[in-house]
Amino acid sequence: MWTLILVTFIVSGASTGGVSTAMAFLDFPDEAKCRTAAETMSRTDHVTVGEVGPHPNISPSAIYRIIAQCVAR
């Protein structure tokens, strides 16, 4: 049995923003499936929520990173 550990970090782009983290665990029957899922899930990207306009920017852009690691159990 293999377990995929996913750790997600989100860092706000606002000067008053912060950092958020989350963890998830997924079980796989073999290493190959776990590694394929890990490669698919791992990424670093930039996300913007909401449109820029005349309203206050209540959801500033953020950077997120998903770390995926397989471990044997």
The average pLDDT across 52-70 equals: 76
| Contact (Cβ atoms closer than 8 angstroms) between residue 64 and residue 11 | yes
The average pLDDT across 19-44 equals: 94
What integer pLDDT is reported at residue 56 of this predicted model? 59
What integer pLDDT is reported at residue 23 of this predicted model? 97
| Chain mean pLDDT for the chain | 85
Residue type for 70, please? Answer: C
User: In which residue are the tokens 């899922």 written?
Assistant: 37
What integer pLDDT is reported at residue 58 of this predicted model? 60
What integer pLDDT is reported at residue 68 of this predicted model? 95
pTM over 0.85: no
What 8-state DSSP symbol labels residue 56? -
